[in-house]
Structure 1
Amino acid sequence: MRPVRTLAEALGDGALVLDGGLSNQLEAQGCDLSDALWSARLLADGPEQIEAAHAAYVRAGARVLITSSYQATVEGFARRGVGRAAAERLLARSVELARAAARGVREEVWVAASVGPYGAMLADGSEYRGRYGLSVRELEAFHRPRIEVLAAAEPDVLALETVPDAEEAEALLRAAEGCGVPVWLSYTCL
């Protein structure tokens, strides 16, 4: 069940606790995250592990859960033989798992659908550097389908995370424009 108040309304009352690094909790649960898809691999291979990690953060006091979709892209799943429709279902599942972990909690818990930078799909560390040789328009075209799928899954906010440069930030914001879901944007500075 979605919270009654919006995340923005709740933030008007003060700070909220975000979950910790999802990968840290998954590794503590014994999950192997050495795959190029990182924690997104578990959307297909171990969704119960993702839900358990989210639930652990809720029990620890988190009121905002960030989904396991940071590194999840149609292109990344395609390299593992997963077709577009199945990859889109896995992206939507990331929101469903976070929402399921929040069920039965008395306090409001919001879900932030994670959208990592283009470099996260490359799985080569370039998400921290940016400058992939792509235009803002090309980056926008890459991000838009994933943002549309995540927005359709009805998160409370889109978390445009660890954006490495202004061009990708512009592309992400353009891709999210009109999706009907509020966004937050965080930068990585090296």
Structure 2
Amino acid sequence: MNPITASLQAPVVLDGAMGTELEKRGVKTNDALWSANALLTDPEAIYAVHASYFQAGATIAITDTYQANVAAFAKLGITHARALELIKLGVQLAQRARDDVQPNGLVAGCVGPYGAYLANGAEYTGAYKLSPAEYDDFHAEKIQTLLADGVDLLSVDTIPNFAEVQALTTMLAEQSQLVPTWISLSIKDPQTLSDGTPLATVVEWLDHAQAVSGIGINCTGFANVLPAVQLIRAHSEKPIVVYPNPGDVYDPVTKTWIAVAHSQTFADVVPEWLAAGANIIGGCCRTTPADIEQIAKLLKK
């Protein structure tokens, strides 16, 4: 077993939201590039966010490349070569923060879904359909770029569409050199992928995919996490990754988040997630370094 894969069996602290923290630093995020805007306008803000999460106790940083892809940059007139440089910059900023703050930390190269490129909230619905070859054209070069720049892991995030899951696992299996990789799902509810596929069907597929080291859910509310973790664990012994949002609601028209009153904190729920079998825990949109510090303290216990 890869030593990094082995390390993911023990409770591990993941980082939290990138876009939320960039907004606090004045970076524009309410457009098609979302947090990837900072790769163009304020790379040092990305470094600062990564450093803040490592300082809070995170062991793994996810690169600011969720929405960074060649097709999205091309819409802005950015050349293919420059787009690949920007993806590499996302890796390098996370690596520099890791080296400066937490030398034993890991950097996970972030791969977002095709739905994120659409910039219409489709990562929460899965309402799109591409052929396997089209998914390959969209994802393969970015994955190869992340791998070439030395990421320790791949974090394939917020995948809402079973056909995309299948295409990604096939593509990953074809890579000549691959790092430990989790695929994290966007779910409609604890039993259902966002596109309507039974979650058990997706988990069973991922459990049999040799290129997949872990199975996750992210950017869903706290209430969905425990039953989803229980379902995943019933169908797989692979490490389980959870990084929810606090329950706020995304508006795809304004491309902003609507705050919702939260009755629970990570301190209230992380112990039961661990007991149910979660291995890697962090936060997604709208979470902060304070949340990650809270998780880190719980996992140290």
Compare 23-32 and 141-150 and name the one that shifted more: 23-32
TM-score, structure 1 length as denominator?
Answer: 0.91
2:86 alignment partner, one of 90, 103, 111:
90
Cα pair distance change 1:125/1:151, threshold 3 Å: same
Q: How does 1:117-136 map to 2 (within 5 A)?
A: 117-136=113-132
Aligned twin of 2:111: 115
C-alpha displacement of 1:137: 2.7
CA RMSD of aligned residues (A): 1.6
Q: Which secondary structure does the structure 2 equivalent of 1:103 belong to?
A: helix
For 1:181, the aligned partner's letter is V
Q: Does 1:188 align with 2:189?
A: no
Q: Which secondary structure does the structure 1 equivalent of 2:109 belong to?
A: strand
Aligned twin of 2:134: 138
Q: How does 1:20-31 map to 2 (within 5 A)?
A: 20-31=16-27
TM-score, structure 2 length as denominator?
Answer: 0.59
Q: Which secondary structure does the structure 1 equivalent of 2:30 belong to?
A: coil
Q: Does 1:7 align with 2:9?
A: no
> Structure 1 CA distance, aligned partners of 2:22 and 2:79?
25
2:72 alignment partner, one of 76, 85, 91:
76
Aligned twin of 1:38: 34
Q: Conserved in 2, the CA contact under 8 Å of 1:163 and 1:186? A: yes
For 1:122, the aligned partner's letter is L
Cα pair distance change 1:109/1:135, threshold 3 Å: same
Aligned twin of 1:55: 51
Q: Rg: which structure is higher?
A: 2
Q: Conserved in 2, the CA contact under 8 Å of 1:140 and 1:174? A: no
What is the aligned residue count?
Answer: 185
Aligned twin of 1:104: 100
Q: Does 1:156 align with 2:127?
A: no
Q: Which secondary structure does the structure 2 equivalent of 1:162 belong to?
A: strand
Cα pair distance change 1:25/1:84, threshold 3 Å: same
Compare 14-23 and 30-39 and name the one that shifted more: 30-39
> Structure 2 CA distance, aligned partners of 1:106 and 1:39?
23
> Structure 2 CA distance, aligned partners of 1:172 and 1:131?
17
Q: Which secondary structure does the structure 1 equivalent of 2:100 belong to?
A: coil
> Structure 2 CA distance, aligned partners of 1:63 and 1:78?
33
**Identical pairs, percent:** 41
For 2:134, the aligned partner's letter is E
Q: Which secondary structure does the structure 2 equivalent of 1:121 belong to?
A: helix
Structure 2 gaps of 5+ residues are 189-301
| Consecutive aligned runs of 4 or more in structure 1 exceeding 4 Å deviation | none
